[in-house]
Amino acid sequence: MRVGILSDGPDLSSYLAEMFNTWGLVLYEVVEPDRILELDPKDVPVLVCPASQSSRSLVDFARRGGTVICFLPEGPLAEAAGLVYEGEKDVPLRLRVTAYPAAGMAGERFPIVGHANNYSPAPGVQVLGYFSYTDRYEGESVGITETTVGQGRIVGFAFDLALCVLLLRQGDPNRAEVVPEGTGCARPSSMAIDTGPPDSGWVPFADLLSRLLVDTVRRYLPGPVPLLSHLPGTAPDILLYSGDEDNADVASNDAEFECVAAAGGRMNLYIIPNRTQSGVPDVERYRVQHDVGPHPDLRPLDGCSVSERLTEFERQIRMFQDRFDTPARSLRNHCTAWAGYLEPVEVMEKLGVGMDGNYFSGTYGYSREDAPYAAFGGAMPMRFCWPDGRVLNVFQQHTQLADDIMFGTADYSCRLSPQVFAGVLDRIFTDIETRFHTPYGVCIHPGNWVRFSRPQGRELLRQANERRFPIWSFDQWLGFWEARDTWRFNGMTRQGCRLQFALEGERSHGALWLAIPAKDSKTSLVEIKLDGECAEWQTVQRYGEDLALVPIPAGKTAISVSVMYGSV
pLDDT tens, 295-311?
999 999 999 999 999 99
pTM, whole model, 2 decimals?
A: 0.97
177 vs 188: CA distance, rounded Å: 9
523-530 and 533-534 as β-strands: parallel, antiparallel, unpaired?
Answer: antiparallel
In this structure, which amino acid lies at residue 186? A
Q: Check residue 363 and give its pLDDT.
A: 82
Architecture of domain 487-566: Sandwich (2.60)
**For the residues 401-422, what does the mean pLDDT come to?**
95
317 vs 31: CA distance, rounded Å: 39
pLDDT value of position 520: 85
d(CA 398, CA 441): 7
pLDDT at site 366: 79
pLDDT in tens, 122-174: 999 999 999 999 989 999 999 999 999 999 999 999 999 999 999 999 999 99
pLDDT of residue 42: 97
Which residues, including other chains, have CB under 8 Å from residue 158's CB and lie 6 or more apart? 72, 83, 89, 116, 117, 118, 119, 131, 141, 142, 143, 144, 145
CB 406 within 8 A of CB 233: no
Rounded Cα distance between 362 and 185, Å, is: 16
Q: How far apart are CA 164 and CA 129, in angstroms?
A: 16
CB 287 within 8 A of CB 253: no
Quick one: pLDDT band at residue 522, thresholds 50, 70, 90? Answer: confident
- Beta-bridged to residue 525, according to DSSP, are 565
Residues 406, 417: Cα–Cα separation, whole Å: 9
pLDDT tens-place string over residues 93-124: 999 999 999 999 999 999 999 999 999 999 99
Model confidence at 518, pLDDT cuts 50, 70, 90, reads very high
Q: Exposed (0-12), middle (13-18) or buried (19+): which is 134, by Cβ within 10 Å?
A: middle
How far is it, in rounded angstroms, from Cα 461 to Cα 464?
A: 5
**What is the C-alpha to C-alpha distance for residues 281 and 56, in angstroms, rounded to an integer?**
66
Dihedral sign for Cα 365, 197, 175, 10, please. positive
Could you tell me the strand order of the sheet in which 355-356 lies?
330-331, 355-356, 391-396, 382-385
Q: How far is the first Cα of the chain from the last one, in angstroms, to the nearest whole number?
A: 27
**For the residues 236-240, what does the mean pLDDT come to?**
98
Which residue, 496, 561, 567, 500, is CA-closest to 531? 561
Which comes out higher in pLDDT, residue 223 or 354? Answer: 354
CA-to-CA distance for 548 and 513, rounded, in angstroms? 10
Instruction: Encode burial over 150-180: b for 16+ CB neighbours within 10 A, e otherwise.
Output: eebbbbbbbbbbbbbbbbbbbbbeeebeeee
CA distances from 252 to 28, 247, 277, 333 (A): 48, 10, 11, 20
Residue 493's pLDDT band, with cuts at 50, 70 and 90, is: very high
**Pairing, β 93-97 against β 126-132:** antiparallel
Per-residue model confidence (pLDDT) at position 51: 82
User: What are the domain boundaries of the chain?
Assistant: 3-176+199-219, 241-360+399-481, 487-566
Mean pLDDT of the chain: 97
Pair type for strands 28-31 and 3-6: parallel
At 65, give phi and psi (nearest 5°): 115, 0
Is it the case that residue 544 has pLDDT exceeding 80? yes
Our measurement of the distance from residue 116's CA atom to the centroid of its chain's CA atoms, rounded to an integer in Å, reads 22
Helix axes 250-262, 454-466, angle to 10 degrees: 20
DSSP state of 451: I
Residues contacting residue 270 through CB under 8 Å, at least 6 positions apart: 242, 243, 244, 245, 292, 293, 294, 295, 331, 332, 357
Give yes or no for a cis peptide into 92 (omega within 30° of 0). Answer: yes
The confidence band for 236, taking pLDDT boundaries of 50, 70 and 90, is very high
Residue-level pLDDT at 475 = 99
DSSP state of 553: P
pLDDT in the model for residue 285? 98
**CATH topology for the 241-360+399-481 domain:** TIM Barrel (3.20.20)
At residue 108, the pLDDT reads: 96
Per-residue pLDDT, 368: 84
Count H helices, E strands: the chain? Answer: 14, 31
Q: Of all helices (H) and strands (E), which one includes residue 8?
A: none
Answer for the pair 152, 41: CB distance below 8 angstroms, yes or no.
yes
State yes or no: pLDDT of 53 exceeds 80.
Answer: no
User: Residue 326 gets which letter from DSSP?
Assistant: S
Percent share of the chain, pLDDT over 90: 95
Q: What fold does the segment set 3-176+199-219 form as a domain?
A: Rossmann fold (3.40.50)
Q: Which of 192, 165, 112, 167 is nearest to 364 (CA)?
A: 192
User: Residue 439 in 3-state DSSP?
Assistant: coil
Please report which residue ranges of 263-417 form alpha helices under DSSP H.
280-286, 306-324, 343-351, 403-407
